[in-house]
Amino acid sequence: MGRLKACIQSLFSKKEEEVPANVEELRNAFRARYHHFKLLLSANNKALEIMQEMEAALTGTEPFGMTFVRSRVTMVAANVWQITQHLNELAPGKYEGLYERFKEIQQKINPFIRAGQEGPGGGALVIPLTAVNKEMADQVGSKMASLGELRNRLHVRVPDGFVVTADAYRRFIAHNELQAEIDRRIQATPVEHPQRLYHLSADLQQLIIRSHIPPDLESAVTWAYQDMKAAEGEDVKVAMRSSALGEDVAGTSFAGQYRSELNVSGENIFQAYKEIVASKYSLPAMTYRLNRGLRDEDVAMCVGCVKMVEAVSGGVAYSRNPVNIRDDAVYINSAWGLPKSVVDGTVSPDLFVISREGPRRMIKTEIPIKTHKLISFPKEGVRRLPLKGDERTAPSLQDPQAMELAEMAVRLEAYYGLPQDIEWAIDKTGAMVLLQCRPLRQKEPPHSSKSPPVGGLPSDAVVYQGGFSVSPGVAAGKVFMVKKDMDALKFPQGAILVAEQALPRWATTLNRAAAVIVEQGSMAGHLANVAREFDVPALFGVEGATHRLEADQLITVDADANTIYRGRVEALTAAREPPKPLMRESPVYEALSRVARYITPLHLLDPDAVGFRPENCKTFHDITRYCHEKAVQEMFQFGKAHKFPERSSKQLFCDVPMQWLVLNLDDGFKEEVRGKYVTLENIVSIPMLALWEGIVATPWEGPPPVDGKGFLSVMFEATTNRALNTGVRTPYANRNYFMISKHYVSLNSRFGFHFSTVEAMVSERAAENYINLQFKGGAADFDRRLKRVYFISAILGRYGFRVDIRSDTLIARLENREQDFMEARLRLLGYLIIHTRQLDMVMANDARVDYYRQKVIKDIEGVFNVAPSSGTSTQEAKTSYPSQPVGSISDKGASLRGC
């Protein structure tokens, strides 16, 4: 009877206990753990942010280079290593197996991010064109390999010459020790910023141009040029053309992105060579590689050195229509003089369209007025010469010549098995000479199913109708005039590029441009080629575009119908198919995809699963997940593992008729407190104040009405459970006490016969925030206690907590939410701690249970204005008890997910 009497008295009064402890040791222990915990969470947050960046990059919609891949791998590895170290500081010796897992994952990643560039090889530095064929693309680049194939296997007329090889490029780079410096500068530059990329480009080009030609390379080039002179019997001028590895292959033409030097004298060959090598780092080339996912180390710059052709006329021939895959006619663009003016987009060329099937016939000709031509200077270089008289309106190509060229285009397509893009010239003897041949990328025509309804377009909104499409599609945006290089650097995302000429250097804007409008250019120009690669609608030949349109004017460009509208025409833009991801299937994308397999996937999902162990971490994400889970657990052990030093604590001065002790671990008080009491005004702990608001928000109605069975259950449990006897020292200290810092709280409380522990970290850094709750005990029998635990679990699950139930113990957790959200949930917990005491005694009465459930939800959502988490409802908050008899649940516990 003595124990029963003590138990009944314990409902209303408790005998105080004092547990001596060294408060400074406690504070120092907390600070050390808190320090490592915060650093772990900070590194965890950074690692997850980097993983998100990598996953976003894998959509393939935004450009990135190997600098991005290597830097993100390095950063994520560094942060995961820090996470592992800090967890081992929180629990020395407990998690050392993670180090081995980290190293194994790192070793799997390393092969995919190592630079792939070969060192100086032992291959030839110079190869004559007579020895070149298409199988030698890795030595001489695709452009010169194709030219050698034309000469040596198809016996097509091409200029004689030689190629300075990929091994020569590597020899030049190694001789001047350039690669490490180039890598360093690229790594240090945020290449996503156009102006920073512009300065990097200028610096790298100057670095290369100031370098020296190795003696063995100088000797090899000199001998090859002397052989050309001997064969030609004159002081031959040469055209020096880039032929980088990866250039002129299907899908990555690099059209106009590298430099070519025309009409170069023998004494300037080496200067021209360095300038062409330097053009690997021109702004257009760097931007193109970035947008197409090409690795810098994969691009060795070969240079073709061929006899300069004194062209009477020249241009580009397409074996099929580049903007309509269903049109199989041959399209020839031609201009007087060198073909450079056609590919550079500085002239509006003549157009000849010739049938493919049966006897060749001319389907269409367009002969615009031509204002100038490019010709070679007698000594060196080229110049623009104004056209006069009949030459302005005369066709630059005669019909028989056009037919011969069409025949050649069809022949080359049949040989290569793909449509071809051919650069050609007619020399002074009237002979046709091929200068270049590469695969042609065609575009699908507009789908009729995507066309807007008839009558649905605003005819009164038409700004211009005319010109010709060089890249199909529809886009809307604001006009941005581009007249100089600085304009291109300032070009905004989603704008419409408007320019006078279709210059190749405007291609740097195409990853940001919604569409392109130019006054002068052709479908054969470099800008048109790159626009088609990037799926950017482009309308050329728009007369007076720079005067008709105004800067910042919102327009819609319909390159399918050659029409420009004012404003945004939703009937057109809504029907446009999204652009394809440019990065997909590129070497850089493949590298990121492969390393991501060991970084971003998450396999350790359930912390309660048997397999939630270090040896099962397959990725860096697994390690971060495991460490984060264990770190919170280790921090939660702090309040359990350290006895509360009442002598060093302060009693909270408040109107609540309970005793609350507060220990300041770090910076939880506004100012130091002398004396026995601390006021709420002097407490600055964010999570404690939120908990306290919940504790005092609504007065407790007192113990629920108890029926006879409920009262007897309490009496019986009190006489059999020694842990409830307050005359016995137990783990449940007869106090409510807080340990606090500004962003941390640990509350251990006992109300009646139930015990609860709340630990929380709350700040403006969402990734560091968490709340843990443990709730246990009660004076009723096990069945009723368990039902109360399930009752509370349903309430917590309704508001976003993850809940586990083990025997009659409830463990709830919430993390990684913003400060306001966490404070609201702490108010909720404070309320539940007060208002669920002694509810276990009525858990057998369904009507009373339903009453308290409705009251709790009404208070939480009314007083605290807390909304249920998405996907929950009042119906879902009803208590769901185990289907099996409650008494059959083992003491080891059942697990229930509350959210």
pLDDT for 224-264, tens place per residue? 999 998 888 777 999 999 998 866 444 454 455 788 899 99
Mean residue pLDDT of the chain comes to 81
Q: Can you spell out the DSSP letters for 663-722?
A: EESSS-BSS---SSEEEGGGB--HHHHHHHHHHHSS----SPP--HHHHHHHHHHHHH-G
Nearest to 755, CA basis, from 785, 790, 717: 785
| pLDDT at residue 83 in the model | 93
How many domains, the chain? 5
Residues 739 and 802 in one domain: yes
Residues 728 and 812 in one domain: yes
Establish if 851 belongs to a structural domain.
no
> Which domain CATH number covers 149?
3.30.1490.20
Q: What is the mean pLDDT of residues 738-746?
A: 88
CA distance 94 to 89: 9
To the nearest whole percent, how much of the chain has pLDDT over 90? 36
The pLDDT of residue 156 is above 70? yes
The residue ranking higher by pLDDT, 451 or 628, is 628
CA distance 772 to 757: 8
| pLDDT at residue 15 in the model | 39
Give the SS3 label for residue 396: coil
> Which domain CATH number covers 339?
3.30.470.20
The pLDDT of residue 774 is above 70? yes
Q: Is the pTM of this model over 0.75?
A: no
| pLDDT at residue 16 in the model | 39
| pLDDT at residue 554 in the model | 94
Q: Is the CB of residue 868 less than 8 Å from the CB of residue 794?
A: no
Q: What is the mean pLDDT of residues 539-567?
A: 92
The residue ranking higher by pLDDT, 122 or 289, is 289
The residue ranking higher by pLDDT, 783 or 125, is 125
| pLDDT at residue 356 in the model | 87
The DSSP element (H or E) to which 563 belongs, if any, is strand 563-566
pLDDT grade for 637, boundaries at 50, 70 and 90: low
Partner residues linked to 802 by β-bridges: 813
The residue ranking higher by pLDDT, 153 or 779, is 153
Q: What is the mean pLDDT of residues 144-155?
A: 93
Q: Is the CB of residue 305 less than 8 Å from the CB of residue 162?
A: yes
Q: Give 749-767 pLDDT, tens digit per residue.
A: 876 556 788 989 899 988 7
| pLDDT at residue 295 in the model | 76
The pLDDT of residue 879 is above 50? no
Residues 343 and 302 in one domain: no
CA distance 42 to 768: 7
The residue ranking higher by pLDDT, 744 or 634, is 744
Residues 185 and 328 in one domain: no
Establish if 882 belongs to a structural domain.
no
The pLDDT of residue 891 is above 60? no
| pLDDT at residue 724 in the model | 37
- Mean pLDDT highest for which of 224-233, 558-567, 860-869? 558-567
Tell me how crowded residue 258 is: count the other CB atoms within 10 A of its CB.
25
The DSSP element (H or E) to which 304 belongs, if any, is strand 303-307
What are the tokens at 641?
């593992």
DSSP classification of residue 802: E
Residues 101 and 140 in one domain: no
The pLDDT of residue 269 is above 90? yes
Q: Give 475-527 pLDDT, tens digit per residue.
A: 999 999 999 888 888 899 899 999 998 888 888 888 889 999 999 888 877 78
At which of 287, 308, 329 does a domain end? Answer: 308
| Beta strands 161-164 and 303-307, pairing class | antiparallel
Establish if 146 belongs to a structural domain.
yes
The pLDDT of residue 359 is above 80? yes
Residues 255 and 369 in one domain: no
| pLDDT at residue 776 in the model | 74
Partner residues linked to 538 by β-bridges: 471, 516
Establish if 58 belongs to a structural domain.
yes
The pLDDT of residue 726 is above 60? no
CA distance 726 to 13: 10
At which of 282, 308, 334 does a domain end? Answer: 308
The pLDDT of residue 579 is above 50? yes
CA distance 6 to 727: 8
Establish if 662 belongs to a structural domain.
yes
Partner residues linked to 564 by β-bridges: 464, 557
The pLDDT of residue 886 is above 90? no
Query: 610-616: which pairs have CB atoms within 8 A and are 24 or more residues apart?
Result: 614/95, 614/97, 614/98, 614/101, 615/97, 615/101
CA distance 441 to 421: 9
The residue ranking higher by pLDDT, 214 or 580, is 214
Establish if 833 belongs to a structural domain.
no
The pLDDT of residue 873 is above 60? no
Nearest to 315, CA basis, from 336, 287, 288: 336
Phi, psi of 554 (to 5 degrees): -80, 125
Q: What is the mean pLDDT of residues 563-573?
A: 89
Residues 567 and 658 in one domain: no
The DSSP element (H or E) to which 509 belongs, if any, is none
The pLDDT of residue 347 is above 70? yes
CA distance 132 to 139: 9
CA distance 15 to 35: 36
To the nearest whole percent, how much of the chain has pLDDT over 70? 81
| pLDDT at residue 252 in the model | 52
Sequence-ordered list of residues with C-beta below 8 angstroms from that of 403, at least 6 positions apart, any chain: 354, 360, 362
Q: Is the CB of residue 437 less than 8 Å from the CB of residue 150?
A: yes
Q: What is the mean pLDDT of residues 806-825?
A: 87
| pLDDT at residue 644 in the model | 56
| pLDDT at residue 582 in the model | 62
Of the CA atoms within 13 Å of residue 60, those in its CB half-sphere come to 18
Residues 300 and 163 in one domain: yes
Residues 562 and 658 in one domain: no
Residues 351 and 474 in one domain: no
Phi, psi of 161 (to 5 degrees): 165, -155
The pLDDT of residue 697 is above 80? yes
| pLDDT at residue 542 in the model | 92
What are the tokens at 716?
């019986």
Q: Give 650-696 pLDDT, tens digit per residue.
A: 889 887 767 888 888 888 999 888 888 999 999 999 999 999 999 88
| pLDDT at residue 711 in the model | 43
The pLDDT of residue 826 is above 80? yes
How are strands ordered across the β-sheet holding 744-751?
677-679, 650-653, 660-664, 736-740, 744-751, 754-761, 770-777, 809-815, 802-806
pLDDT grade for 429, boundaries at 50, 70 and 90: very high
| pLDDT at residue 255 in the model | 56
| pLDDT at residue 224 in the model | 93
Domain assignment of residue 235, given as a range: 121-308
The pLDDT of residue 889 is above 80? no
Sequence-ordered list of residues with C-beta below 8 angstroms from that of 346, at least 6 positions apart, any chain: 501, 503, 520
Establish if 710 belongs to a structural domain.
yes
At which of 308, 337, 361 does a domain end? Answer: 308
Report the Cα–Cα distance between both ends of the chain, in Å, rounded.
45
| pLDDT at residue 752 in the model | 58
Residues 28 and 152 in one domain: no
CA distance 876 to 855: 15
Establish if 895 belongs to a structural domain.
no
Q: What is the mean pLDDT of residues 208-216?
A: 95
Q: 485 vs 179, 195, 243, 345, 780, CA distance in Å? A: 28, 11, 25, 16, 81
CA pseudo-torsion sign 282, 285, 288, 290:
negative
The pLDDT of residue 402 is above 90? yes
The pLDDT of residue 321 is above 60? yes
Give the SS3 label for residue 412: helix
Residues 223 and 128 in one domain: yes
CA distance 620 to 617: 8
> Which domain CATH number covers 477?
3.50.30.10
Q: Is the CB of residue 639 less than 8 Å from the CB of residue 4?
A: no
